[in-house]
Structure 1
């Protein structure tokens, strides 16, 4: 089980990283600006890595006010299918892996700070285009694509967000160790319907705490 959890935690952290890179807020109608996501956001995403050999479909809940992220996902990693339910509580510095079927939890120390989602300060505007058509209202979507580097991982990214509302559309993220990771976002809604989703279920109260302390790099790799 622990052998399976490490790649799952890594892919979850990939999702978290992508959220941090591309969820954004306000922008100008005339000149695109780097921006931030709404403080509360719900939606879904698909993730593909290793040329499609690894893939994930996930729902996410993002709370910048409480510094919390919830992920429900299923997919295939290293040729093995999986389901995962993970709750990241940055203020408490813990991450829960929740199994409702067996009513069990795994709890790990979370050794990383919460960073509100934004287009990084070193990002450069690559292009502004219309996805779809432009011959009639409602046929297309005006989007901005930003590019930049992540020196800590020798990585780089392309992040595409909508011009109005700065809703994430897609992200390409690359590091020498992971290769290209493609994330596509859909069904985004501002706000959180059920704040209880950010609280661990009662059966997690006595979860065993694993000694392995996780930060982004140890979980991801």
Structure 2
């Protein structure tokens, strides 16, 4: 048995909605609601999300899609695979295949077509699929219509600073600790990460294994001043 958090309508309609610039106004309203909810905050401890398979979209505050693709997340092993423009091709600016090992502090940029990859060190392990241990609970919001069964969802709101930057984040998770949307506000490029069609299982464990053509590769030297992280791959 597994839990499925599914968002409709169809993929086509979803992609169309991603491209609309009206998203900026929607995000602004969402943040305003959260600020209101924060006045009623009570003490909560951050939880950790379960294993997940689903779809992730990355947008900027103008409503422009940066990436859209499938992800697999191992909560216990702290491993993440994200492949954009492969499972769900769309008109985005980035095509990525990332295999992240947050516990080990390394990640791979994979090019399956050319059977090549780059192995790099992680300077920052923050990502939108788990609530940071130092996250602060700000309140709870109810989306949709809470008076009609099946048409509302309760979301916890978490916030905190972003390491090595002057930025901060707002993360919205279900009562079961499934992150739904995370907004990162930073000096350069504010980003919105959204997860959809979530299932609480690892459907293909092989996706979290280093490909044979990447094995034995040494870690590339990180240029001075560079901070490698999952988030920075979308800037």
Shorter chain as denominator, the TM-score bin is 0.5 to 0.7
The 8 Å contact of residues 49 and 179 in structure 2, kept in 1 or not, is answered as no
Task: Identify which range, 192-201 or 143-152, moves more after superposition.
Answer: 143-152
Alignment-derived partner of residue 71 in structure 2: 60
CA deviations 1:200-220 (Å, max 9, x no partner) are 222223657533369983553
The 8 Å contact of residues 161 and 170 in structure 1, kept in 2 or not, is answered as yes
**Structure 1 unaligned runs (5+)?**
1-30
Distance 1:161 1:182 in 2: 14
The 8 Å contact of residues 123 and 228 in structure 2, kept in 1 or not, is answered as no
1:154 counterpart (163, 166, 181): 166
TM-score (normalised: structure 1): 0.68
Distance 1:160 1:80 in 2: 24
Alignment-derived partner of residue 211 in structure 2: 201
Count of residues in correspondence between the two structures:
185
Distance 1:213 1:94 in 2: 15
- RMSD of the alignment, in Å? 3.3
* Greater percentage in helix: 1
CA deviations 1:19-78 (Å, max 9, x no partner) are xxxxxxxxxxxx672332334222222111262456111322222322322111139xxx
Alignment-derived partner of residue 72 in structure 1: 83
1:186 counterpart (177, 196, 199): 196
**Structure 2 unaligned runs (5+)?**
1-41
Matches within 5 A, 1:30-41: 33-41=44-52
Matches within 5 A, 1:126-165: 126=139, 128-150=140-162, 152-163=164-175, 165=176
Distance 1:214 1:107 in 2: 17
